[in-house]
Amino acid sequence: MAWLIPFSSLIPAQQDAVQMDTRSHKAIIGGPGAGKTLVLLHRLNLLFHRAGKNHDAVRLFVYTNTLKQFIQAGNDMLDVPDACISTFDKWCADTYRTQVNPRLPTKDKKPDFEAIRSGIFGVIESGKLPTPLFDSVLIDEAQDMDIGAIEILKRLARHITICMDGKQQLYDDRMSEPEALSRLGLSRHNTALLAAFRCNPMVTELAAQFIADDARRQEFMRQASNLEMDRSRPLFYVADNFFDEAAHLIEMVKLRLSYGDSIAVLFPKQSQVHGFAKRFMEAGVDVKVQERDMPIDFSNPFPKLMTYHQAKGLSFDSVFMPRLNQSSFPGEMSKRIGHMCFVGVSRAVKWVYMSGNKQALIAPMQELGQVSARRFLESKISGEAAGLLGLDVVADNPVLATDPFGLD
């Protein structure tokens, strides 16, 4: 797996983060492309061996099943058992069944994880579940854990290492970086700061546009140490309608596949994932979708279709972000559009494609359609939408025998 490299190939700052002592809790903070997950996996390997290869002594908790599968697909370089890598929700559900009640509490026909965590906290506090259970617990994407989860984890392990990036936080009710560090008794003395190295600089500049706070935006740009690589501008396509958008998306995915890129197509809603998967298959393009309890095979070259939440922690050569319309971000999700777009764009190493319908683009994309963004974003619109944003016109059906957008 390309992203998992030997410890000897890590940069010095990453090696230092892997080898931090365990006398106190630790935090690793860095933007997209800083190698946080890579560092955590090597740190897990180190602590697993220090524990005498006792798989019950260490755990790496990750945010999604997709990220767990992504990590496990590359874990053959190390000898850490897959059982040491889990989502925190899965561990909570299993522990609740054995320690509290075989039947999980539910809410709206789904597991009620707030009630599940409350039950686990109760058996910990009562002494029914002896703690600590683990020598070390490592947590990826800690910015999306709530206070209850952190309080449980503090009691579960002698040592905790968290990785986080507040700019990628997808929920309003989660902890800020300072609060997370404070609850673990952390300061700058036990925090490793990693610079980002992953992205085409044009992708980095595009991602920065979705950081609302100016100081954090400038910090992100300072931390980015971009690779000397392809400097193709990301592409923003304004479609006439749904069918125009879907057809253009499929043709552009075919083009990037011809370049040998690994590809993710990201959507706000799960229903869109399945709907577009059907359209890709009808067009003769094999794709892979995250199904419930079914792993995605990351060893194959097929495009991966998933939600923004499922994509957290992953990276791909090219990332496609269609359906950037207001209707795609209903209710509370509308308040997190900037964060979700930042997460999506920052999954890309080489190139990003964004698209939406001319009549209902989300506000950030309307702003990016202006001339000021042209240094890092190429904008194209279909014929009937000409004049909407004052952009250049591209034919509705680009001929793909050649590269129509100069992406080489």
Plot region of 221 (φ>0 → left; ψ -120 to 50 → alpha; else → beta): alpha
User: Would you state the pLDDT for residue 226?
Assistant: 56
* Residue 191: band (very low, low, confident or very high) from pLDDT cuts 50, 70, 90: confident
The tokens of 140 are what? 């990826």
**Is pLDDT larger for residue 100 or for residue 29?**
100
- The conformation of residue 172, written as its DSSP 8-state character, comes to T
Query: Does residue 103 surpass a pLDDT of 80?
Result: yes
Q: Answer yes or no: is pLDDT of 186 > 50.
A: yes
- Name residue, tokens 């004052």: 390
pLDDT at 133 over 50: yes
What DSSP string describes 223-234? HB---SS--PPP
Is residue 202 within 8 A of residue 376, CB to CB? The reply is yes
Q: Does domain 201-385 have CATH number 3.40.50.300?
A: yes
* Integer Cα distance of 101 and 116 in angstroms: 10
The highest-confidence range among 166-180, 237-251, 321-335, by mean pLDDT, is: 237-251
Q: What is the pLDDT of residues 34-45, one digit of tens each?
A: 888 889 999 999
pLDDT at 166 over 70: yes
Confidence label for 125 from pLDDT (cuts 50, 70 and 90):
very high
Percentage, residues of the chain above pLDDT 90? 48
Give the residue-averaged pLDDT of 400-404.
32
**Domain 7-194 and domain 201-385 have a common topology:** yes
Average pLDDT (124-150) is 91
Is residue 84 a contact partner of residue 55, using CB atoms and an 8 Å limit? Answer: yes
Find out whether 206 and 376 touch, Cβ atoms under 8 Å.
yes
* Range name among 183-192, 257-266, 273-282 with the lowest pLDDT average: 183-192
**pLDDT at position 170:** 66
Q: What's the whole-number average pLDDT of the chain?
A: 84
Give residue limits of the domains in the chain.
Answer: 7-194, 201-385
Highest mean pLDDT: which of 10-14, 69-73, 78-82, 305-309? Answer: 305-309
- CA angle 312/352/314 to nearest 5° reads 20
- The helix (run of H) or strand (run of E) holding residue 97 is helix 88-99
Query: How much is the pLDDT for 398?
Result: 35
pLDDT band at 155 (very low <50, low <70, confident <90, very high): very high
Q: Among 92-106, 208-222, 289-303, which stretch is predicted with the lowest mean pLDDT?
A: 289-303
Q: What is the pLDDT of residue 1?
A: 46
77 confidence band (pLDDT: 50, 70, 90) = confident
Q: What is the mean pLDDT of residues 369-394?
A: 62
pLDDT at 283: 96
* pTM, full prediction: 0.73
Name the fold adopted by 7-194: Rossmann fold (3.40.50)
